[in-house]
Structure 1
C-alpha cells in the first residue's frame, strides 16, 4: 500500500509559507528532499541569512558569502518576486577584515529592487550604510545594528513606519534629524 504525502499536495503558496518559518539555509536544504519542493525556495519572500549555521557545520565564511550571493542572484532573476523581509546577520564573518563590502552593497541593492518591506541588518562591526537604503519607497520596517553613517544623502522613506537604530555610528548629529525628517509616516523610532 502506497502512503500519500499530504504536505506535498498543498498549493505552492502554502508550502512557501511553511518554508518561510525556517532559515533560508534550512529552507534550501528542505526543498532538496523532495522533487515537488525543489523549485519552491526560489519563490520565498523571506530571506534570513545567518552565518552561524555555516560556521557550526565546519564550513568557512566564504561558503556563506557564496551561498548568500547565489540565493540573492536567483531571487534577482525571478522578475515578479517581491522580497517581503531580508535579515542579514553575519555573526562571525562580520568581524573579518575580508568582509566583502562590495557584495553586501549588491545584496542590499537586489532586495531593494525587489520591493523589500522589512530590512534587518546586524553586523558586528561598523560598516557604512549603503546609500540606496535611504531612498527605498517600499520599506516599512528598517532595523540597522552597528552600521555607520559617514556621508549622507537625502532621505526619502515614505512608507517607513518602524525605525530601529541600534549602535549606529553617526558622524554628524544633523544626519539623525535628516533621517527622521525623511520618514513622514514614522510611528515607531527605537
Structure 2
C-alpha cells in the first residue's frame, strides 16, 4: 500500500517543493493525486544545470517552451508562484523567454525570484540581458535575486511598485546611469 500518496495534497506539494522541477514532474506520473499536486505546485526550482548540462541543442527549444508552458498553466489556473529559481546561459534570443517568464511570474504574484543569466564576453564587453520593466510592478515580490542583468529605470514613466520587497541581491549587474543617480540621491536624503 502506498501511504505517501494518501497524504493530503498540500503535504504532497510541500514534498515536491524540495525537488527540482524535472524530478517533481517525474513524480507526477505516479498517480492522479501526484499529478494534481504537481499541476498546482507553486515552488519551481529549475536548478543550475537544466540548461547547462543539456548537450543536445535540439532539446533546448523544448526546454524553453516547457518552462513557458509550466508558468502559463499556473497563470491560467490563477496559482500564485511562491518561488521561482532558474539559471540560464546567456544568448540574446533567450532573453525573449526571460521576458515572457517574468511577465507570467509577475501576473502570478511571484514572491521570491532567483534568476541567473551566465554572461558572455563579446568583443571585449560583457553581454547582459535587460531586465523587463514589468518587474517594477511586482507588488507581491519579497525577495529578488538577480545575476547577469542590465537594470534600467522604467522608460514609460511608470513608478516602481516593489512595496513588498524585503531582500534585494544583485550580482554581476549593469545599472543604468539614471538609476545610479536616483539611488545616490535617495542615499543622501
Normalised TM-score (structure 2):
0.81
Q: Is the 8 A contact 2:136 2:161 kept in 1?
A: yes
Give, in whole Å, the separation in 2 of the partners of 1:105 and 1:97: 11
Q: Is the 8 A contact 2:90 2:129 kept in 1?
A: no
Give, in whole Å, the separation in 2 of the partners of 1:179 and 1:11: 47
Q: Is the 8 A contact 2:13 2:41 kept in 1?
A: yes
In the comparison of the two structures, how many residue pairs are matched? 173
1:84: how far off? 0.6
Alignment of 1:122 onto 2:119: no
Once the two structures are superposed, the pairs formed by residues 108-119 of structure 1 within 5 Å of their partners are: 108-119=102-113
Question: Any stretches of 5+ residues in structure 2 without a counterpart?
Answer: 120-127
Alignment of 1:8 onto 2:5: yes
Query: Cα RMSD over matched residues?
Result: 2.3
Question: Any stretches of 5+ residues in structure 1 without a counterpart?
Answer: 183-190
1:61: how far off? 1.7
Deviations 1:86-106 (A, max 9, x none): 11211xxx233432x222211
Question: Hey, what does 2:67 align to over in structure 1?
Answer: 68
Give, in whole Å, the separation in 1 of the partners of 2:35 and 2:114: 27
Give, in whole Å, the separation in 1 of the partners of 2:183 and 2:30: 45
Q: The residue matched to 1:159 in structure 2 has which SS? A: coil
Give, in whole Å, the separation in 2 of the partners of 1:78 and 1:28: 17
Normalised TM-score (structure 1):
0.81
Give, in whole Å, the separation in 2 of the partners of 1:31 and 1:177: 49
Give, in whole Å, the separation in 1 of the partners of 2:101 and 2:6: 33
Question: Hey, what does 2:31 align to over in structure 1?
Answer: 34
Q: Is the 8 A contact 1:51 1:61 kept in 2?
A: no
